Structure 1
Amino acid sequence: MAGDAMSWVSKFDSAAAIKLVMELMAIPGRSKQEGNIVELIVSKLLAAGVSPSNITTDNANRRIPGGGEVGNLIVKLPGTQRGPRRLLMAHLDTVPICVGCQPVLDRDIIRSANASTGLGGDDRAGVAVVLTAILELLRLNLPHPPLTLFFAVQEEIGLYGARFVQASKLGSPKFCFNWDGGDPRFVSVGATGDYAIEIEIEGLASHAGVHPERGINAITIASLAIADLTENGWHGLIEKGKHRGTSNVGIVHAGEATNVVTPSLTLRAEARSHDPVFRKKIVDAYQKAFAKAAKSVKSADGKTGKVTFRSDLKYESFRLDPQEPVVSLAESAVAHIGLTPELCVGNGGLDANWMTAHGFPTVTLGCGQRDIHTVNEWLHVPSFLQGCQIAMLLASGDLG
C-alpha cells in the first residue's frame, strides 16, 4: 500500500465493516421485497450525518413489470473538494434461497448457519462495500469530490432497477463503479447480452387412452423442438465458426393429467452472446425449431398445433475500452492496495450493462462473493475488506 491515498488505512474500522455486512445479509430482501434493507441503509446514513434531503428513492418500481415495494435508493453527497462526480453502486436484492440466512463468522469466512439457505453475499457484500466506504469517509472526515450512491432494486430478476432508474436523479456522474463479484483483483469491463424467450404451444386435448390420435400433444411439440436445437448446436454452449453464445430452456409448464393428451404448454428460455447479431440468430433458431415442430405433429384429421413466440432484450452486451478513464481509475485503485489488476469480461448480466447503455460507462469490481445462488455460498472476508478499501480510494478521488 503506497502513497498518501492510503494514509487513512491504519484508522480503517475493519470490525465495523464486518459487522455491517453481516447485519445486511441477515435481512430478507428478495427481488421486489427490498423495503427493509432500504430502511436500514437510510438509518445508517442519517446516523452518520447525511441530510435527509440528500436521500431519495426513485419511481422505478412503478415502471418495472410486476411492481415492487420500493424504487432505487439514490444518495447524492456534495463534494468537500472540486472534481467530477463519482458514482458507487450495488444491488439490494438477493435470490429466494437466501431468505432465512443466519450469517456466522469463522475466521476469514462468513457462511449461513442455516444449512438450507444461501448467504446473500450477492449482493449484500457489494452494498456493504459502498456503505462502508461512505461511512468511513464521513467518520474520518476525508476529503472527496461530489458522490452518488446508487442502490439498485431487482437486479436478480432482470437488472430491472438499473434498467428503469430515473437517470436524471443520478447527478450526471463521470466515473461509475459497481460492486458485484468475487476477487477484488478483477476489473470487469464488459458483459454479455441476453434475450428472454417465451413460447406458448397450443395443441389439442383428447382422451389419451380412448382416442389419443385425435389430440395434438404440446409436450411432443416442445420435445421435438428442443431435440432439434440440441442436435443442431443451438442449445447449451453454442459455437458456430468464430461466433460464440449460449442458450437454455429453463422453465416448462404443461399438463394436469396423464390420461389427457396435453393441450397447452408454456416455456421460458434465454439466449446470450456478446455479439448482438449472433444472439439474434440464436433467437431465430428457436423460433424456426418450434414452428417446424408444430407443423410436424398432426392429429388423425390433419390438424396441427400453434406456437406463439415472443422475445425481449433483457440487456445489451457492452465492452469498455481499456483506455477509458474509469477503467484506469479502477485499475489504479486495485494496484494501490497491493493487488495486480486483471481486466475481464463476463458471461452474466450486470447492472453495468444498463448503466453503460444509459450513457454511464461502469466498471464492476469484486467484493469477496463465492458460490453465489447456492446453499454453499460464503464470503471471503479479506477480499471483502479489500473491496471496501478500493471503494474508499475511488470515492475519495485521491490516488496520488
Structure 2
Amino acid sequence: MNKERMIANFIEMIKIHSPSLKEKEYADYLVTLLEEMGLEIYLDNGYVNYGGTAPTIFGKLKGNVDGKGVTLAAHTDVVEPSKGVNPIIEGNIIKTDGTTTLGGDDKGGIASIIETLRTIIENNISHEDIYLILTPCEEDAMLGAKNIDWDRVPTHMIPAKDTIVIDNAGRAGLIAHTAPSRYNFRITFKGRKAHAGIEPEKGLNAIQLASIAIGNMKMGRIDSLTTSNMGTIESSFPSNVVADLCVATGEVRGHSKETILETLEGYKKCCEDAVSSFGGEFEFKEVCDFPALKPIDDLKFAKEFAKVYEAMGVETQLQVIGGGSDSNIFAERGYNSIIIGVGMYNVHTVNESLDVNELCKTTEAVINYISK
C-alpha cells in the first residue's frame, strides 16, 4: 500500500463538503474515481424518498478466484460543522483547526477502501469478487441504507454477505460484531386548558401530568445490554395558561427485543398510573428505528479477521457496541458484518482526529484478508 497516496486522497476528500442529505458532489467524485479504477458501478436512487441528493453506490471488482466474495462498506456523509475543513498534520495525526469536524468518520474508511482497491489492482493480487456499498445519510438515521430498493439491484451486483464496515472509532484491531436495536417513542400528554390566574382549578396541566409519569420511569442504564433516554419535552404556552398539551420523546436501545418491549410497557404503565391519579389522557407511540446486529456464524468471520490483525502483531478486541450503523439495517437482509477500527477519535466533534498509523494497519489488514 502507498501511505502517502492514501493520506493525499483523504485530504482531498475531506475538502469536499458532504453533510447528510447533501452528498452529491462527493458521490460524483467517488463514482468517477471508482469507474476509472475499473469497477462496475450501480447507483440506487433511494434518496428521492427522503429529500437527499446522492445515491447509494454499489461497486464490484470482479475476482479471479472462486469464492463467495467480500463486501467493503462505509458511508459518504459527515457530521456538521464540516464546511471549509482546514486539516492540520502533526506527525501521524491529522486534525482540524478546531472550527469544524474532520470527516474521518467516515472518509477515513473510504480512503482505506480506495487504497485497498488500488493496491490489489496495481499488484495483480488474486482475489475473490470484491463488492462495495457506500451509503449516504448514515448519520441521519441510516436513511440511505433504509431506502435502498433491493429489488432493482442487478443480481450480479448484490453484495457478498460477509461485510467489512470500515467505520469503527478507535484503533486498528477493534472488531465490533454486535450492536443494539433502537426503538424511539413519543408520548403525548393531554390535559385541560384554563386561565392560570383566574380559574386554574378548572384546568389540568399536561406538563405536570408528564412530569409525574416521567418521574417514575427508569432511565439510563436498564441492564448491562439495555439503555434508555428521554430526549425532548415540549410544551409551549404562556405562563397565564394551564397547558393542555405536552409531548415527550425518547429512545430505548438494547440487544434483546423482549427487554426493550418490556421497558416500553413499563413506561406505558407509568403513564397509566399518572392519568389514574391525576387525570388527563396520554397517547403512546413507538417505532423500531433499526434492528439489532448480531453475527450469524458464531463469530467465525470476526475471528478470521482477528487472525489477520494478529499475524501483523496488532492486538485485537472483539466488541459489543452501543451504537447503531448501516450494519444494523443490512442485518435484516442476512448480512454478516464486522465494524473495524479506522483510527478516528473524538468523532462528531471539532476535536476529531485521525491517526494515520492506525488507518494504515487497518488498510493492510483488509488487503491481507482479501488476498488470503
Whole-angstrom distance in 1 between the partners of 2:243 and 2:86: 43
Question: Does the C-alpha gap of structure 1 residues 290 and 132 become closer, same or farther in structure 2, counting only changes over 3 Å?
Answer: farther
Any idea what the Cα deviations from partners look like across 1:226-270, whole Å, max 9, x if unmatched? Answer: 2111xxxx201113xxx6411001123221433322232332210
Matched pairs, number:
367
Shift of 1:342: 1.7
Find the counterpart in structure 2 of residue 334 from structure 1: 309
| Mapped pair 1:102 → 2:86 | yes
Deviation of the 1:325 alpha carbon = 4.0
Instruction: Find the aligned partners of 2:159 and 2:235 in 1 and give their Cα distance.
Output: 48
Shift of the alpha carbon at 1:58? Answer: 0.9
For residues 358-389 of structure 1, give each alpha carbon's deviation from its aligned partner in whole angstroms, at most 9, with x where no partner exists.
11111111101111122222112211121221
Q: Does 1:222 pair with 2:203?
A: no
- Look up the match of 1:301: none
Q: Deviations over 1:178-221 (max 9, x none)?
A: 11112211111111111111222233333333333332222222
Partner of 1:117: 100
Deviation at 1:108, TM superposition (A): 1.7
How far residue 281 of structure 1 moved from its aligned partner, in angstroms, is 0.9
Task: Find the residue that maps to 1:391 and give its secondary structure.
Answer: helix
Question: What is the percentage of aligned positions where both structures have the same residue?
Answer: 26
For 1:268 and 1:35, how far apart are their aligned partners in 2? 32
Deviations 1:320-343 (A, max 9, x none): 267544223311322233212221
Are the counterparts in 2 of residues 76 and 171 from structure 1 also a CA contact under 8 Å? no
Tell me the secondary structure at the aligned position of residue 188 of structure 2: strand
1:279 match: 260
Say if 1:176 and 1:326, in contact at 8 Å, map to a contact too: no
The residue type equivalent to 2:73 in the other structure is M
Counterpart for residue 58 of structure 1? 44
Residue 75 of structure 1 pairs with residue 59 of structure 2: yes
CA deviation digits over 1:291-331, x for unaligned, max 9? Answer: 33344434xxxxx2x32211111222233267544223311
CA offset at residue 161 of structure 1?
A: 2.7
Match of 2:371 in 1: 398
Q: Do residues 151 (structure 1) and 134 (structure 2) align?
A: yes
The answer as to whether partners of 1:187 and 1:363 remain within 8 angstroms in 2 is yes
Question: Using a 3 Å threshold, how does the CA distance of structure 1 residues 172 and 388 change in structure 2: closer, same or farther?
Answer: closer
Amino acid at match of 1:57: L
Query: Which residue of 2 is the match for residue 30 of structure 1?
Result: 19
Give the aligned residue type for 2:205: N
Find the aligned partners of 1:156 and 1:377 in 2 and give their Cα distance. 16
Which residue does the alignment assign to 1:18? 7
Q: Is the 8 A contact 2:173 2:362 kept in 1?
A: no
Question: 2:209 & 2:81 partners in 1: Cα distance?
Answer: 33
Q: Contact 1:192–1:347 at 8 Å: present in 2 too?
A: yes
Deviates more, 1:150-159 or 1:136-145: 136-145
Moved more, 320-329 or 136-145: 320-329
Give the counterpart letter for 1:92 in structure 2: T
- Decide which moves more: 206-215 or 351-360: 206-215
Instruction: Choose from 125, 147, 167 the match for 1:142.
Output: 125
Contact 2:161–2:334, Cα closer than 8 Å, also in 1: no
Gaps of 5+ in 2: none
What's the TM-score, normalizing by structure 2? Answer: 0.90
Matched, 1:178 2:151: no
The answer to whether the Cα contact below 8 Å between 1:180 and 1:364 also exists between their aligned partners in 2 is yes
Structure 1: where are the runs of 5+ without partners?
A: 1-11, 299-303
Specify the code of the residue in structure 2 equivalent to 1:67.
G
- The separation in 2 between residues aligned to 1:203 and 1:100, in whole angstroms, is 48
2:347 to 357, 372, 382: 372
Letter of the structure 1 residue corresponding to residue 226 of structure 2:
G
For the structure 1 residues 319 and 174, does the alpha-carbon distance in structure 2 shift closer, same or farther, using more than 3 Å as the test? closer
Shift of 1:33: 2.0
Query: Does the aligned pair in 2 maintain the 1:322–1:328 contact within 8 Å?
Result: no
- 1:174 positional shift: 4.0
Whole-angstrom CA distance in 2 between matches of 1:15 and 1:75: 25
What SS does the corresponding residue of 2:313 show, helix, strand or coil? coil
Aligned to 1:4: none
Secondary structure of the 1:318 match is coil
Q: What's the secondary structure of 1:98's corresponding residue?
A: coil
